[in-house]
């Protein structure tokens, strides 16, 4: 089935402002609470949210094999499990319904009242129930920076790094959508020049700018996913802020890797942009620096040109953009990550989330964490109010934005906006 929803010439009868992340070519999927407190699956064109449950009940998806309640759910897991053919059919149909040339819904005021919402009438929820969350470490620039800082600039990459898309299993219970504030975590920290840890609020709370992909049911226990098929099982992408407490991390991470420094919160953007919508923005990835094993070798372009930025907004000043980078810099791509994740027969389910790892580019203004931007706190950033930041302070809001742009078509992710609150008190 062709992806007619991507037609760059199509316009919508819904208003879309010029620099919107959500033209009719995007058609992302999300879950929201409506003004009547009903939870539903929806999409978005411009600044209008569209209730797919209502559209389905009113017959607009006739002819597509969908169960009656597929959109009347509090997560996209079942819809995602229906597979790529169904996602495509639904996206294509939505594009037709809202095409400027189609007057059917446009002229039906009663239907529009049930289907369309302003953004201030809805509240975005987590789009999927995330069963398993894996986080990779796939930016060579990030891994090199961190290795240089904490180990040895001459041997910044560990011996396995150029052979394996390194990753670890994260925790899904603390994944939250944009808008939910996060408390500063506390834990064990080893003070400088000491061999005895103290219990303290983290003084090095950091963001990690990442992208994450959401999978569908992919394989049975024992069955690897071949790299050439991996993209068939990727529903779409969100932006991810993988909050990190660097001082807790430094003390705890040997030998099993990050634990409490990483699992107190991970924020995601609420609209899942489908891999189909990102098709026009494919680009070749970096050339491998070492020959990769056959199960990690791929053909064609498997990277995506997604412009990303991070801003910090203190309590009483305007935001400052502190980093601009791009998803295309990632050394290991999503297909390699998924092929590697399943090469041992590990099953992947509908609604699993896989983070890319912090996305850093080649220049110091394109690093994806405060750890790197301020080089362990040695080079503070001056915010718009004249105050310095080495890490994130209480009441700061961290904002991440991402979009693709080519030949006049812009497809974006909106933003993740998360405020850091002081330590939790009962």
CB of 168 to Ca ion, least distance (A): 9
Rank residues 44 and 262 by Cβ distance to Ca ion and give the closer one.
Answer: 262
Give the integer Cα–Cα distance in Å for 116 and 14: 10
Binding site residues, Ca ion, CB under 5 A: 135, 208, 242
Q: What is the 3-state secondary structure (H, E, C) of the chain?
A: CCCHHHCCCCCECCCCCCCCCCCCCCCCEEEEECCCCCEEEEEEECCEEEEHHHHHHCCCCCCCCCCCCCCCCCCCHHHHHCCHHHHHHHHHHHHHHCECCCCCCCCCHHHHHHHEEEHHHCEECCCCCCCCEEEECCCHHHHHHHHHHHCCHHHCCCCCCCCCCCEEECCCCCEEECCCCEECCEEEECCCCCCCCEEEECCCEECCEEEEEEECCCCCCCCCCCHHHHHHHEEEEEEEECCEEHHHHHHHCCCCCCCCCCCCCEEECCCEEECCCCHHHEECCCCCCCCCCHHHCCCCCCEECCEEEEEEECCCCCCEEEEEEEHHHCCCCHHHHHHHHHCCCCCCCCCCEEECCCCCCCCHHHCCCHHHHCCCCCCCEECCCCCEECCCCCCCEEEEEEEEEECCEEEEEEEEEEEEECCCCC
Rank residues 66 and 164 by Cβ distance to Ca ion and give the closer one.
Answer: 164
CB of 135 to Ca ion, least distance (A): 5
Rank residues 266 and 336 by Cβ distance to Ca ion and give the closer one.
Answer: 266
Which residue is at the shortest CB distance from Ca ion?
Answer: 242
CB of 266 to Ca ion, least distance (A): 8
Rg (C-alpha) for the chain, rounded Å, is 22
Give the integer Cα–Cα distance in Å for 220 and 65: 24
Rank residues 249 and 326 by Cβ distance to Ca ion and give the closer one.
Answer: 249
- Active-site choice (56, 142, 340, 341): 142
CB of 69 to Ca ion, least distance (A): 35
Rank residues 89 and 261 by Cβ distance to Ca ion and give the closer one.
Answer: 261
Contacts of residue 192, Cβ cutoff 8 Å, sequence gap at least 6: none
CB of 402 to Ca ion, least distance (A): 16
Active site residue 142: yes
Angle at 268 between CA 262 and CA 269, to 5 degrees: 160
CB of 248 to Ca ion, least distance (A): 14
CB of 294 to Ca ion, least distance (A): 28
CB of 262 to Ca ion, least distance (A): 7
Rank residues 242 and 309 by Cβ distance to Ca ion and give the closer one.
Answer: 242
Rank residues 71 and 264 by Cβ distance to Ca ion and give the closer one.
Answer: 264
Rank residues 207 and 233 by Cβ distance to Ca ion and give the closer one.
Answer: 207
Give the integer Cα–Cα distance in Å for 211 and 402: 9
Catalytic residues: 142
């Amino acid at each position: 089935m062709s992806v007619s929803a991507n037609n760059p010439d199509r316009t919508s009868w819904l208003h879309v402002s010029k620099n919107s992340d959500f033209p009719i070519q995007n058609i992302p999927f999300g879950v929201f609470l409506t003004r009547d407190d009903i939870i539903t699956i929806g999409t978005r064109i411009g600044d209008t949210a569209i209730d797919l449950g209502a559209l389905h009940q009113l017959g607009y998806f006739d002819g597509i094999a969908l169960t009656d309640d597929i959109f009347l759910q509090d997560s996209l897991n079942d819809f995602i499990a229906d597979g790529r053919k169904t996602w495509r059919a639904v996206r294509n149909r939505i594009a037709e319904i809202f095409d400027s040339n189609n007057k059917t819904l446009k002229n039906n005021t009663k239907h529009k009242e049930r289907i369309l919402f302003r953004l201030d009438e809805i509240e975005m929820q987590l789009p999927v129930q995330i069963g398993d969350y894996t986080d990779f470490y796939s930016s060579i620039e990030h891994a090199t920076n961190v290795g240089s800082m904490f180990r040895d600039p001459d041997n910044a990459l560990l011996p396995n790094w150029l052979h394996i898309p390194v990753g670890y299993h994260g925790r899904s219970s603390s994944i939250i959508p944009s808008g939910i504030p996060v408390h500063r975590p506390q834990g064990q920290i080893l003070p400088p020049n000491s061999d005895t840890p103290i219990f303290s609020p983290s003084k090095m709370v950091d963001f990690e700018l990442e992208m994450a992909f959401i999978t569908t049911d992919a394989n049975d226990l024992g069955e690897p996913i071949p790299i050439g098929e991996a993209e068939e099982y990727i529903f779409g992408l969100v932006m991810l802020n993988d909050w990190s407490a660097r001082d807790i991390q430094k003390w705890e991470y040997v030998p099993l890797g990050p634990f409490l420094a990483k699992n107190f919160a991970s924020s995601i953007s609420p609209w899942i942009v489908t891999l189909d919508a990102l098709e026009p923005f494919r680009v070749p990835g970096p050339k491998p620096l070492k020959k990769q094993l056959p199960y990690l070798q791929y053909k064609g372009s498997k990277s995506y040109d997604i412009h990303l930025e991070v801003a910090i907004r203190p309590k009483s000043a305007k935001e400052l953009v502190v980093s601009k980078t791009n998803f295309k810099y990632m050394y290991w791509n999503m297909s390699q990550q998924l092929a590697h994740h399943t090469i041992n027969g590990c099953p992947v389910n509908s609604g699993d989330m896989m983070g890319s790892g912090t996305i850093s580019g080649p220049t110091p203004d394109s690093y994806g964490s405060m750890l790197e931007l301020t080089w362990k706190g040695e080079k503070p950033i001056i915010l718009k109010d004249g105050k310095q930041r080495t890490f994130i302070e209480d009441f700061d809001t961290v904002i991440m934005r991402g979009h693709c742009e080519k030949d006049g078509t812009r497809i974006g992710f909106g933003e993740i906006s998360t405020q850091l609150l002081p330590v939790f008190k009962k």
